[in-house]
Chain A
Amino acid sequence: MAEVRIVTTPIAIEPLQHYVATTACGAVCLFVGQTRNHSRGRSVRFLEYDAYIPMAERELLRVAETAEARWNCRVAIAHRIGRVEVGEASVAIAVGAAHRAEAFEACRYCIDTLKQDVPIWKREMYAEGACWIEGDRVVGSS
């Protein structure tokens, strides 16, 4: 049973790890995506994440359940939205599996698919102005 969550406060990583680490696990793989202080040569003050929340929850669950079925593992994902300071976690994925190969592969699949399909967007906030990030495109605004 996968566990996914969209949160507005700092992500608590340990509960995710505990959730997936059953006694049948020989490996727990943890991925944490965190916000950088620079992007494309510009200094980033903080990020704002926006989501189409009901759909993002469904898509996250779909990603996690697909990984669970394909690699016979247990998955927990948390994604943060709203203001995220530099150096804080924006996403955390924990995968528990019998062996490390499945754990790594499932974890990789989750973050790659999340970045492809889950309707969440980030906005980089600079000293002067801000930009939406849309896939590979940077779209200027205010």
Chain B
Amino acid sequence: MTPEHTALQRPMGAHMPVSGGLHTSLIAGKAIGCTAVQLFTANPRQWQNAPLSGDAVRAFREAQEATGVRFVCAHASYLINLAAANEVLERSRDAFRAELERARQLEIPWVVVHPGAHAGQREDDAMAHLIESLQRILEETDAQHNPVGIALETTAGQGSTLGWRFEQIGAVLQALGKHPRLGACMDTCHIFAAGYDLRDAASYAATMAAFDAHIGIEHLKVIHANDSKKPLGSRVDRHAHIGAGEIGAQGFVPLLQDARLASVPVLLETPEARKMHAINLQRLRCLADGQPLEVQVTVLFFGHYRDYYPAPCVLMVPYGATVRELAEQLAAQDVRLSDLLQYCRFAMDTEYVTPDSALVSDCELAVLPPVSGG
């Protein structure tokens, strides 16, 4: 792929951890090939957060400049429920105001927020609270010239959450007169769990037709690409690695190749960020490009195996294949390699890995018999 080709593609990346400062999300994201990054700008499981320091803001802006990450969005705290009835409502509104203010300081264009939960209220009442919350906050922040947008995220419909039907998100957008700072975020795992299929061209077309009818494709600002551990319509929200869930790798192809969404940023929120984000991101890129899901692995042998294979071996393995599967493939080809799994350790790109680790595209896999340095 040429750099020009990459530059033309939509921003793609992942929700990145911020341990070490907010700016480290961008640096770590860039290191694994993200051109888009989502982050929490504060602890997502606590109500009170200290305001951002000038140093943190500066470091973040500098990191965005230095990394060239093209799209950044913030994900609001999980505690916020803008549809709540009781004292949680005012706390949520305050916390969400703080989210928008932090995003403004960091020059982040969108904050993704879940529409909330009715938690025992009548659904209409909860929707009314949600609409009122957004209306007030949009008015206030308009007056403050805060340009940060609010992207309401589709949910899985777990418990009493709102936003699992496209109609609900559409109703909020309608009620607020399609305010330009209001948009939608579509999470593939959530909509799938909520009952919207997308695994083949026909079901995807039907899902997007419903999305367009109720929300409007032009309001789709962010896509969360996550596979689902739970089946279609389960209304249970469990994210899985791309290709390792009920949606399946091919289930992402219609979405990723939909020309209408070509400029909408795509972000992963899959587990095991440190190890798996790079792999999941490669899978998405591969699927978007319509490439076969195979990865090239360069195998290096050491110790006495070097006598058999003095030069590196280049192999193609299926996408998602593990070190164990590669070792089995090698054993099937050469009986002298039949004991690799019992006898050797393995390193991928110079880091020890377990046999259950998935092989990363274009990685270097070293077969390491017991060492004898010193």
Q: Contact mask B354-373 → A, CB, 8 Å, 1/0? A: 00000000000010111111
For B47, list chain A residues within 8 Å (CB).
Answer: none
Indicate if the CB atoms of A119 and B304 lie closer than 8 Å. Answer: no
Report the bound CA distance from A120 to B302 in whole Å. Answer: 9
**The 5 residue pairs across chains A and B that have the minimum distance between CB atoms:** A135-B370, A120-B373, A55-B350, A133-B372, A132-B304
For A49, list chain B residues within 8 Å (CB).
Answer: 373
Report the bound CA distance from A98 to B75 in whole Å. Answer: 48
A122 to chain B, nearest CB (A): 5
> Given A58-B350, A119-B366, A119-B368, A51 and B373 touching (CB < 8 A)?
yes
Q: Which of B300, B304, B347 has the most CB of A within 10 A?
A: B304
Q: Which of A33, A120, A136, A142 has the most CB of B within 10 A?
A: A120
For B304, list chain A residues within 8 Å (CB).
Answer: 132, 134, 139, 141
* Contacts A/B (CB < 8 Å), 18 sampled: A33-B374, A51-B373, A52-B302, A52-B347, A52-B350, A55-B366, A56-B373, A58-B350, A58-B351, A90-B374, A111-B374, A115-B371, A119-B371, A121-B303, A121-B371, A121-B373, A132-B303, A141-B307
> Given A54-B350, A58-B350, A117 and B303 touching (CB < 8 A)?
no
Interface residue? B136 (CB, 8 A): no
Interface residues of A in 103-117 (CB under 8 A from B): 111, 114-117
Report the bound CA distance from A96 to B303 in whole Å. Answer: 33
Interface residues of A in 84-138 (CB under 8 A from B): 90-91, 111, 114-122, 132-137
Q: Which of B303, B307, B351, B352 has the most CB of A within 10 A?
A: B303
A-B contacts at CB below 8 angstroms, number: 80
For B302, list chain A residues within 8 Å (CB).
Answer: 50, 52, 119, 121
Indicate if the CB atoms of B373 and A115 lie closer than 8 Å. Answer: yes
Indicate if the CB atoms of A122 and B372 lie closer than 8 Å. Answer: yes
Interface residue? A74 (CB, 8 A): no
Find the A residue at minimum CB distance from B373.
A120
Indicate if the CB atoms of B374 and A91 lie closer than 8 Å. Answer: yes
Find the B residue at minimum CB distance from A122.
B372
A2 to chain B, nearest CB (A): 17
Interface residue? B306 (CB, 8 A): yes
For B352, list chain A residues within 8 Å (CB).
Answer: 117
For B374, list chain A residues within 8 Å (CB).
Answer: 33, 79, 90-91, 111, 114-115, 120
Report the bound CA distance from A44 to B155 in whole Å. Answer: 70
For A120, list chain B residues within 8 Å (CB).
Answer: 371-374
For B370, list chain A residues within 8 Å (CB).
Answer: 134-137
B373 contact from A118, A132, A137, Cβ within 8 A = A118
Report the bound CA distance from A79 to B304 in whole Å. Answer: 20
Find the B residue at minimum CB distance from A142.
B307
Q: Which of A33, A52, A118 has the most CB of B within 10 A?
A: A52
A89 to chain B, nearest CB (A): 11
B142 to chain A, nearest CB (A): 51
For B351, list chain A residues within 8 Å (CB).
Answer: 55, 58
Indicate if the CB atoms of A79 and B373 lie closer than 8 Å. Answer: yes
A137 to chain B, nearest CB (A): 7
Report the bound CA distance from A114 to B373 in whole Å. Answer: 7
Q: Which of B350, B368, B372 has the most CB of A within 10 A?
A: B372
Q: Contact mask A30-66 → B, CB, 8 Å, 1/0? A: 0001000000000000000111101110100000000
A121 contact from B300, B347, B372, Cβ within 8 A = B372
Report the bound CA distance from A97 to B352 in whole Å. Answer: 30
For A58, list chain B residues within 8 Å (CB).
Answer: 350-351
Indicate if the CB atoms of A135 and B371 lie closer than 8 Å. Answer: yes
Q: Which of A49, A55, A56, A142 has the most CB of B within 10 A?
A: A55
Find the A residue at minimum CB distance from B308.
A141
A29 to chain B, nearest CB (A): 16
For A134, list chain B residues within 8 Å (CB).
Answer: 303-304, 369-372
Seed contacts A118-B371, A120-B373, A133-B372; 16 additional CB < 8 Å A-B pairs: A50-B306, A51-B373, A55-B350, A58-B350, A114-B373, A115-B371, A120-B374, A121-B302, A121-B373, A122-B372, A132-B304, A132-B307, A134-B303, A135-B372, A137-B370, A142-B307
Report the bound CA distance from A33 to B152 in whole Å. Answer: 64
Report the bound CA distance from A51 to B303 in whole Å. Answer: 9
For A115, list chain B residues within 8 Å (CB).
Answer: 371-374
